[in-house]
Structure 1
Amino acid sequence: MNTPARQQPADWPLWEVFVRSRSGIDHKHCGSLHASDSQMAIQLARDVYTRRMEGSSVWVVRSNQIVASDPDNRGSDFDPAEDKIYRHPSFYKLPSELDHM
């Protein structure tokens, strides 16, 4: 009876790891790892990237599921919208208590 070959770590998919160091701030990309499934990826991410209690949340995403903008379209994708002045907050008067804005 033939049994399927066991999947080796070299064949495991690549996962990108994002860690939030404390509640209320953004998740930051920490690195990548190979894991057989999402549960293993979470566990490995915790073991590798939060060993010193620096994380409060971990996200893992299969690398092949990430879609990025095309660098060749940088101009049209990220040009400021100067013709849409209503998007600029210059029309609002802020109270003096909000000096940090």
Structure 2
Amino acid sequence: MSGAAASGEGPVWEVFVQEKAGDPHKHAGSVHAHDAEMALQHARDVYARRGQVASMWVVPHAAISASMPADNASFFDPADDKIYRLPAHYLSPASDRRR
């Protein structure tokens, strides 16, 4: 049993907040809670009191997957064998027009 689960705090939830409608959600921090509703309440109490919040997400930490720094070269390597993805592969309709 993990330390958080043994102490009764519950699993870790990552908190993302949106300050204004239309803005991207940004990671604000983490809270411990037993379910999503409780995580939202804790997140509201901790992160919404600092300023205006339009929306808030809570995500179980265990549900987040990330790339590993050791894999960056191959994971983010451009697809050089797929020239159709390059903008130079296509002709613009404007380039075909005569003035």
TM over 0.5: yes
Aligned residue pairs, count: 89
Q: Is the 8 A contact 1:9 1:34 kept in 2?
A: no
CA displacement at 1:92 relative to structure 2:
6.7
After superposition, the Cα gap between the structure-2 partners of 1:53 and 1:11, relative to the gap in structure 1 and judged at 3 Å, is closer
Alignment map for 1:69-84 (pairs within 5 Å) = 69-84=67-82
1:13–1:36 CA contact under 8 A, matched in 2 = yes
Map 1:1-101 → 2, pairs under 5 A: 10-89=8-87
- Tell me the TM-score normalised to structure 2 length: 0.71
CA distance in 2, matches of 1:89, 1:38: 43
State the 4+ residue runs in structure 1 displaced beyond 6 angstroms: none
Residue identity over aligned pairs, in percent, reads 50
Q: Which residue of 2 aligns with 1:4?
A: none
If the length of structure 1 is used for normalisation, what is the TM-score?
0.70
Q: Distance in 2 between matches of 1:87 and 1:23?
A: 33
Deviates more, 1:76-85 or 1:14-23: 76-85
RMSD after superposition: 2.6
Structure 2 portions without partners, runs of 5+: 95-99
The alpha carbon displacement at 1:15 in A equals: 0.6
Q: Which runs of 5+ in 1 are unaligned?
A: 1-6, 96-101
- Deviations, residues 21-74 of structure 1 (Å, cap 9, x unaligned): 111121111111111211011011111111144211100011111111232211
